[in-house]
Structure 1
């Protein structure tokens, strides 16, 4: 299943301001329902912050959204980083080589809890067992300016990392 289906269905929508200026995308890293049985993610030293990732702004241009990344996000491009989040499988089975990490847990298997600023696409070296718990991976970050699936972030060559 392509990541595009998840991003296209997400709650974040690009909004054009009357001045044409870039404005924040969606609702930041997503909404953590206080009724959720899962605790919100805590900031961990050495792990990329969702606050940083969600600081992207966007402009709507005809049929696509153009992200503008702050310098702190651009500095992550092509670097080895650790990211943490809640796993959203993109493949069948209990082990995943291609999945999304979300800044908030999903509350519905058909819903996306965040827009592209609250998701990281992960391609792992070896399959990672699916879990409802927080997953931390380490790999090479790509900051995506014009991804055909609407993603802003991708981590490749990922391996599970201790938190």
Structure 2
């Protein structure tokens, strides 16, 4: 069964109150035609009111996390990590991203960090290569602006939730 893509996921007409056309194309992908799909660190909508991540040299670039391949097995689609990614397993890394809270509290100890901001409360901003699960030592206050965390970076070879990366014992850094 194919699904129609809500324009709110694209920052389009539905986000502005208009309804999609009755003859809107059915898409089997969560991205509309012409947008990058399947790889990369997510799509930052030009209509987003939130600015993209500012460049920083002291954080792990999302391009490094997105640089992987996948293999399909009987258990699902699994990541095949690059040599660079394998060398970072269980090391301390800094990652900059947008917080996706996993509960309703103002401060979070367990959240997702993504390469692009959420533009729709019902849509993930990209694939598993564009998000990192974070577990912190102390709560981090939710913010719309990008945050930077530092902690023990872990590769997830067969995570039950389909994630590829996790940072444990994280702390927020400026």
Output one character per residue of 1:26-72: Cα deviation in whole Å (capped at 9) or x when no partner: 23110000111112113311200100000011012134112111111
Tell me the C-alpha RMSD between the 2 structures: 1.7
Looking at structure 2, the residues matched to 51 and 134 of structure 1 have their Cα atoms a distance apart, in angstroms, of: 17
What is aligned with 1:74? 86
Q: TM-score, normalised on structure 2?
A: 0.77
Structure 1 stretches of 4+ moved >2 Å: none
Output one character per residue of 1:56-89: Cα deviation in whole Å (capped at 9) or x when no partner: 1101213411211111111111000100100000
Q: Which runs of 5+ in 1 are unaligned?
A: 1-9, 13-24
The match for 1:60 among 40, 49, 72 is: 72
Equivalenced residue count is: 141
**Superposition pairs for residues 27-66 of structure 1, below 5 Å?**
27-66=39-78
Deviation, structure 1 residue 11: 4.6
Looking at structure 2, the residues matched to 44 and 86 of structure 1 have their Cα atoms a distance apart, in angstroms, of: 14
SS of match in other structure, 1:120: strand
SS of match in other structure, 2:88: coil
**Which has the higher Rg, Structure 1 or Structure 2?**
2
The match for 1:99 among 90, 108, 111 is: 111
